[in-house]
Structure 1
Amino acid sequence: MAVAVSISPAKITTTKPIIITQFPDNPKPLILEQCKTVRDLNQIHAHLIKTRFISSPSVAENFLESAAILLRHQPMDYAISVFEKLNEPNSSAYNIMIRGLTLKNFSHEAILMFKKMKETSVEPDEFTFPCVLKACSRLRALEEGKQIHGQLMKLGCRSSRFAENGLIKMYGNCGQAGIARKVFDEMSVRDIFAWNALFSGYTKSGCWKEAVDLFYYMLETDTKFDEVTLVSVLTACGRVGALKLGEWIKDYIEANGLKRNPTLITSLVDMYAKCGHVDKARSLFNQMSHKDVVAWSAMISGYNQTNRCKEALSLFHDMQKANIEPNEVTMVSVLSSCAELGALATGKWVHFYINKKKLPLTVTLGTALLHFYAKCGSIDNSIEVFKKMSRKNVLSWSVLIQGLASNGQGDKALNYFDLMLTKHIQPNDITFIGVLSACSHSGLVEKGRELFSSMIKDFDIEPKIEHYGCMVDMLGRAGLLEEANQFIQNMPMNMKPNALIWRTLLASCKVYKNVGIGEESLKKIMNLETVHSGDYLLLSSIYASVGRLEDAFRVRREMKEKGVIKKSPGCSSIEVNGVIHEFFAEDDANFECEKIYAATEKMMKRIKLAGYVMNMEDARLEAEEYDKEKSVSHHSEKLAIAFGLIKTSIGTPIRVSKNLRVCSDCHEATKMISKVYNREIIVRDRTRFHHFKDGLCSCKDYW
């Protein structure tokens, strides 16, 4: 059976050829030491045929080794042609071919060669298994690996140290860390390669705690470790927050003069960043004399994961200045930071770079792009990326469904959910958060009830607290406050409502001015956790909306008397020419504040002439009557929109991100601004997107 290998043309070389005046009686040194090119192979091959040395198994195997292994940068076609002409090749010849194919990344062909070996009744030996197991490991070919494990046991080669290490590596790479540990525990003698193979298996399988525990066991048994071990353990420390062990390793590195190892220092940077000590990570990063793409990516990822997204993008710009080409890990972190900040221009540049460099749109990178565009309100771009992805997993579908839901396209989100099922992609709990959100934002109450029931009935997915929260939000938005309240009361015993559930109901009470359920909701929150200022302010607003101003002021006094920390102020951001600008309500910190306030006043006058009427309920309660209009006019999103009007070209969309929910007055004002100025305005608030165009909003005033 011929082994299928893609044939590449041999490289042209100017290496001086071998000159053979008399062929040696022992050609082994000539073959293994002096043969450097395909031309040399051809010359020696001709002499071997002429002198009939080719019929000698040992000489033929030496020649095969040179063709398959020693000439590392040459394709395998020559070695295959030689192998196929051998008369009854033995296990050594097969071992050379399996090793060569694996070495040159023809792992699938290496497994086929092993299969051919078995079919021709050539018995594998202890040298066969490590190479074919390496091929299985690279391909994550678990079933084939298990079969080889069985053959190892049958042939009694199980005790071979190299084979056992290969088994550990293979099982670990295939996500079977438990079986890898079993093989490890049954070994009579374990070298450092066995330990490192198990550490690698744990980290690749996400068994971070097991990796940390294994290292402690290593220390207890006084087993020597090396730098490869420390890299794996530091990675695990970052994932489980084992800062104490991570710092012990840092001290060990310094005490043993290992600071020159950039891989180790990069692992330290990653460990500190993932443990939340980003400034320590940055200090180490700055001290590195040589920073490769992995080091830059670790630091950017650290900033991103601790929500210091501005610093992540700033460091990415520094990386570009240093002429370091980003990799997929870098791109995913940068896109995630762009998504959080709403930095559309920077994220689009990343997408352009991906296309320019022809980077493969892997599931991870494609899903990051999907998420980025969805979080920036460019849902059409999300759909376009989704369609171009050759492979999609359940997360890719879920991200698109959630993106459609939060951008006011609930019906389309549910259509994609149906399409997902026809493609036989099994939804998970994250998918159902997306589809329930779609129902919530689009007022599809009956459909939401149906999907919630089908989670257990049709998909055997136990609803989590987030799914109950989606249902409460859906019912509350639809004004079904009594049903929402009863739904919470009927939650199962093992799923007690948390403060967020009651806070969601309280927010709906503000929209529908329901004092009774609002008061009950606040009491429930107080019983569960320290009440936020936002909770008091919501109840205060409910009282104010029904004319109970004394109660409204009483609630605010209670808040002050109890020393409740004031909520985060409303903050809106806008990206202009790649720079993120932030605005706070009645902010005067911006260096162009006079120009911005003048633009805001002009904007407010124009929309009033067009019919806008200010909603004074959204003014600060403590503001004097003559100050209320100013208070409402200077909400952070209005300042950001005014800035966008004076800083961007006529007709271009304006994109604003806000950390809080859009108030009703800003919603009405923005609708009018979009009409008067003929601008599309996309506002991302804490819960969803609002696409304003021609005086209308994508949420259809249902939010």
Structure 2
Amino acid sequence: MEGKATSLANLLQGCIDKKAHLAGKLIHAFILRSNGLLSNTFLSNRLVELYSKCGNIGYADRVFDKMPHRDVYSWNAILGGYCKFGSLGDAQELFLKLPERNTVSWNTLISALVRHGQEETALGVYDTMILEGFMPTRFTLASVFSACGALLDVEHGRRCHGLAIKIGLEENIYVGNAILSMYAKCGLIRDAIRVFGDMAEPNEVTFTAIMGGLAQTDRVLEALEMFRMMCRKGVRIDSVSLSSILGVCAKGGEGGGEYGLDDQSDGFPCNVNGQQIHGHTIKLGFEGDLHLNNSLLDMYAKNGDLNNAEKVFANLPKVSNVSWNIMIAGYGQISETQKALEYLQRMRSCCFEPDEVTYIHMLAACVKSGDIKSGRQMFDNISCPNVSSWNAILSGYFQSGDHKEAIELFREMQFQHVQPDRTTLAVALSSCAAMGLLQAGKEIHAASRKAAFQTDVYVASGLLNMYSKCGRTETAKHIFHNMLELDIVCWNSMIAGLSLNSQDKEAFTFFKQMRHDEMRPTQFTYATVLSCCAKLSSSFQGKQVHVQMTKDGYMSDLFVGSALIDMYCKCGDVDEARKFFDMMPSKNTVTWNEMIHGYAQNGRGDEAVLLYRDMIGSSQKPDCITFVAVLTACSHSGLVDAGIEIFNSMEQEHGVVPVLDHYTCIIDALGRAGRFHEAEVLIDEMPYKDDPVIWEVLLSSCRVYANVGLAKRAADELFRLTPNNSAPYVLLGNIYSSLGRWDEARDVRDQMSDKQVIKDPGYSWIEYDKGKQTGMEDDNFMVIDDEVEVASNKKSFYAA
């Protein structure tokens, strides 16, 4: 009988090894018919193990329940069955009932929990195992390190690493690879490299883990060097290693030229590294490996080499949804939305059903190319969009300027109970800021508090920007001062917000505090603060900023340089602005525009025109703003013929179509020179004759030359276009008054009264030792805020 049992046990072991379910059931039937064999614990254990391995947990349960005698192996076998079947609740319940546990019992449960994504529970079971005095094995530690890596729980991982060293398992290749992988996943690449260096004989798993960790922390060149070392050492290269290094090459493509994936020894571009590895895959006979082929596709696509990606795709022996998705994402990355759509159609025609990843890639492609309408269709095809999908469509609406739809979509996201992340909140807040929607911004602020993002610096800068643009600088300052940590973006948002609300002195105070806190300004900081100095007409403070930006090395920055030129010009120090302009190593259109505009502002039209001609001579292409600046200079300095010549050259020589601002400048120049016939001809020919600005400019010029007829025409046009505007009534009335035509002047005032048009009061200010006082002019007197009433001569006031 004993020999028979041994033979049957060997047969069952063969069935277990081959997962031969049917053959095992036949042996089970034979055992049932044989007297005395059913009570054999050894055979019953084999049967439980067989059914567990074959996934037939029902049969395994029956055999286990009918066993007259169970040993620890019996309990471990049925526990393994539950774990393999995925019944982790039953497995944990059974584990608590085990009459006896050994290391296998603990390992079985821990590994199953890790495999099914219950890493925290697995670590809890492991801690209990240690407390009960069980010594972990290499299998235990491998599972535990995997759990620590998944949870990014470095502290737990370090404790386990210490225990591994204590019991002498750190040199085990299985444990060593798990430790290395844990540190790599946690981003602790120095620790991972140290573990790698201590390993006597690293294998392909070791190299794969370290390459992945290096790529994850953007150390792409070092990851490539690891692969070369792997080849030099003769370590076996498998499909997983090749997939990993192809991922490294793809990582280089994602970053463009940032990572400099060139092999510094031979100058090959990063794509060549991928092509060399492609050659390895063919040489090693992995052409049929679908996962590896998809990695190849991904590498070529992310490097923007869609021609080679097409070739790989066309020669795939087998494709999957992943293959199609990679091609769609690749074309989306280079903004070829039409090609991405073609692949989507081909995918469907080949009987592949697009999944959520497909639609997410299509959504990203549409958003990147600016096709927000198609992007929304793709978004609507996603059954349960995740936060990344919501962020993509929200960003699309924001970038296209449809802020209202972005905010509505954010509200819909809330109704769908999708938890926003920092990107979601920042985009939604930016849309509120763009539209000045304070109430909607407050709702998003509340959502950020609910999601515990109110102290996130990324979200905080969005809140500062939103409240500032809605005129709530006090709320913005409250948020700013309650931040636990401030980065440069928060400081910039606060300074810019104060400047936007004309609180330039306070903005400058914040700038000084920022310097005091040793926060290094960026070019945006300097540009904003220089703008504050310009608005305050404070060249003294502007010069201080100039000195600081020189120390910080921003002298050659075009953005800051343009702001500095603007500051000096607005403070009246055009010569200092020109001195800096001439010192700049490189100039762009904005820089030239600022200097030309500076001359225009300060009445130095001849120099503005000369500088414009220098700009043309330097092959710098003028833009719309350039012509506004130089035409303004011509207008203010009486350079009418030069202005007409430049105006006529705009479209013919430089391809810039004149818009309202350009017509306004040239009509102003003609009006100031008294060349009204030319001005009228131009107005009759231009496409902006129904814009009130043109007629106001012309009416102002008529007042200087007492051109009553044209003034009456201009005023009539303004009465039609802006019936509630008091300016044409006042200007026309002043023209009649200056000529002594009192009856007509009275008629204008009567019209104004009949139509209930109210003249807006004018304001002026004076500065004295104690500060600034604001004055308000009305029809008969000017009242100074300091309760002083002063009689006013209107003519001298207007002249001032």
TM-score interval w.r.t. the shorter chain?
Answer: 0.5 to 0.7
Aligned equivalent of 2:561, options 452, 468, 488: 468
Cα distance 1:345–1:42, how it changes in 2: closer, same or farther (>3 A)?
Answer: closer
Cα distance 1:68–1:335, how it changes in 2: closer, same or farther (>3 A)?
Answer: closer
Cα distance 1:218–1:586, how it changes in 2: closer, same or farther (>3 A)?
Answer: closer
Aligned equivalent of 1:517: 607
Aligned equivalent of 2:244: 194
Cα distance 1:277–1:185, how it changes in 2: closer, same or farther (>3 A)?
Answer: farther
Aligned equivalent of 2:104: 58
**1:95-110 aligned within 5 A:** 95-104=142-151, 106-110=153-157
One-letter amino acid of the structure 1 residue matched with residue 356 of structure 2 = P
How big is each residue's C-alpha offset from its partner over 1:19-74, in whole Å with a ceiling of 9 and x where there is no partner? 9986434132233334767896576456454xxx53xx434533554576669286
Conservation of the 8 A alpha-carbon contact between 1:208 and 1:240: no
* 1:481 equivalent in alignment to 2:574: yes
Conservation of the 8 A alpha-carbon contact between 2:120 and 2:147: no
Conservation of the 8 A alpha-carbon contact between 1:404 and 1:412: yes
One-letter amino acid of the structure 2 residue matched with residue 381 of structure 1 = T
Aligned equivalent of 2:423: 329
**1:15-414 aligned within 5 A:** 23-26=70-73, 27-34=75-82, 41=92, 44=95, 47-49=98-100, 53-54=101-102, 57-65=103-111, 72=118, 75=121, 76-104=123-151, 106-129=153-176, 131-151=178-198, 154-160=199-205, 163-183=206-226, 188-191=237-240, 193-194=243-244, 197-198=247-248, 201-202=251-252, 212-213=302-303, 241=335, 246=340, 250=344, 253-254=347-348, 256-286=350-380, 288=382, 291-313=385-407, 315-316=409-410, 326-359=420-453, 361-414=455-508
How big is each residue's C-alpha offset from its partner over 1:94-119, in whole Å with a ceiling of 9 and x where there is no partner? 22322233445534412432243224
One-letter amino acid of the structure 1 residue matched with residue 175 of structure 2 = T
Aligned equivalent of 1:10: none
Shift, 1:82, TM fit? 1.0
Shift, 1:479, TM fit? 1.1
Conservation of the 8 A alpha-carbon contact between 2:150 and 2:185: no
Q: Which has the higher helix share?
A: 2
Conservation of the 8 A alpha-carbon contact between 2:152 and 2:186: no
Cα distance 1:626–1:127, how it changes in 2: closer, same or farther (>3 A)?
Answer: farther
Distance 2:479 2:304 in 1: 42
Cα distance 1:302–1:106, how it changes in 2: closer, same or farther (>3 A)?
Answer: same
Shift, 1:475, TM fit? 0.8
Shift, 1:469, TM fit? 0.7
How big is each residue's C-alpha offset from its partner over 1:445-481, in whole Å with a ceiling of 9 and x where there is no partner? 3444444444454x45563211211111111111111
Aligned equivalent of 1:650: none
Conservation of the 8 A alpha-carbon contact between 1:134 and 1:170: yes
| TM-score computed with the length of structure 2 as normaliser | 0.61
Distance 2:363 2:338 in 1: 15
SS at match of 1:140: coil
Distance 2:325 2:549 in 1: 41
Conservation of the 8 A alpha-carbon contact between 2:387 and 2:418: yes
Distance 1:181 1:633 in 2: 75
SS at match of 2:204: coil
How big is each residue's C-alpha offset from its partner over 1:518-549, in whole Å with a ceiling of 9 and x where there is no partner? 21233244444554454444444334435566
How big is each residue's C-alpha offset from its partner over 1:340-359, in whole Å with a ceiling of 9 and x where there is no partner? 33343433332232234444
Cα distance 1:144–1:439, how it changes in 2: closer, same or farther (>3 A)?
Answer: farther
How big is each residue's C-alpha offset from its partner over 1:648-677, in whole Å with a ceiling of 9 and x where there is no partner? xxxxxxxxxxxxxxxxxxxx969769xxxx
How big is each residue's C-alpha offset from its partner over 1:569-588, in whole Å with a ceiling of 9 and x where there is no partner? 79xxxxxxxxxxxxxx9989
Cα distance 1:137–1:214, how it changes in 2: closer, same or farther (>3 A)?
Answer: farther
Shift, 1:208, TM fit? 8.7
Cα distance 1:465–1:443, how it changes in 2: closer, same or farther (>3 A)?
Answer: same
**Tell me, which stretches of 5 or more residues in structure 1 are unaligned?**
1-15, 571-584, 589-596, 598-613, 640-667, 674-693, 696-703
How big is each residue's C-alpha offset from its partner over 1:155-191, in whole Å with a ceiling of 9 and x where there is no partner? 222422xx43332332233232333344456663343
Distance 2:438 2:510 in 1: 25
Of the two structures, which has the highest relative contact order with CA contacts closer than 8 Å and spacing of 6 or more? 1
Conservation of the 8 A alpha-carbon contact between 1:445 and 1:478: yes
* 1:566 equivalent in alignment to 2:658: yes
How big is each residue's C-alpha offset from its partner over 1:602-630, in whole Å with a ceiling of 9 and x where there is no partner? xxxxxxxxxxxx994799x9994246568
Cα distance 1:541–1:439, how it changes in 2: closer, same or farther (>3 A)?
Answer: closer
Distance 1:97 1:426 in 2: 43
Cα distance 1:238–1:432, how it changes in 2: closer, same or farther (>3 A)?
Answer: farther
Cα distance 1:101–1:427, how it changes in 2: closer, same or farther (>3 A)?
Answer: same
How big is each residue's C-alpha offset from its partner over 1:350-373, in whole Å with a ceiling of 9 and x where there is no partner? 223223444454232222223333
TM-align CA RMSD? 4.8
> Size of the alignment, in residue pairs?
581
Conservation of the 8 A alpha-carbon contact between 2:181 and 2:192: no
Cα distance 1:567–1:447, how it changes in 2: closer, same or farther (>3 A)?
Answer: same
Cα distance 1:133–1:544, how it changes in 2: closer, same or farther (>3 A)?
Answer: same
Conservation of the 8 A alpha-carbon contact between 1:436 and 1:448: yes
Aligned equivalent of 1:625: 711
Distance 1:347 1:506 in 2: 40
Shift, 1:486, TM fit? 2.5
Conservation of the 8 A alpha-carbon contact between 2:495 and 2:511: yes
Aligned equivalent of 2:632: 541
Distance 1:91 1:293 in 2: 38
Cα distance 1:387–1:439, how it changes in 2: closer, same or farther (>3 A)?
Answer: same
Shift, 1:202, TM fit? 4.7
How big is each residue's C-alpha offset from its partner over 1:351-409, in whole Å with a ceiling of 9 and x where there is no partner? 23223444454232222223333444433333333334444333333333333344434
Cα distance 1:539–1:104, how it changes in 2: closer, same or farther (>3 A)?
Answer: closer
How big is each residue's C-alpha offset from its partner over 1:62-94, in whole Å with a ceiling of 9 and x where there is no partner? 355457666928633342021243454332222
How big is each residue's C-alpha offset from its partner over 1:192-245, in whole Å with a ceiling of 9 and x where there is no partner? 752674377458867799662276566666796865577677667656546687
- Give the fraction of aligned pairs with identical amino acids, expressed as a percent: 15
Distance 2:659 2:229 in 1: 57
Conservation of the 8 A alpha-carbon contact between 1:238 and 1:272: yes
Distance 2:606 2:421 in 1: 55
Distance 1:356 1:30 in 2: 45
One-letter amino acid of the structure 2 residue matched with residue 545 of structure 1 = H
Distance 1:488 1:631 in 2: 43
Cα distance 1:473–1:133, how it changes in 2: closer, same or farther (>3 A)?
Answer: farther
Moved more, 437-446 or 246-255: 246-255
| TM-score computed with the length of structure 1 as normaliser | 0.68
Moved more, 520-529 or 476-485: 520-529
Distance 2:426 2:360 in 1: 18
One-letter amino acid of the structure 2 residue matched with residue 85 of structure 1 = E
How big is each residue's C-alpha offset from its partner over 1:676-697, in whole Å with a ceiling of 9 and x where there is no partner? xxxxxxxxxxxxxxxxxx99xx
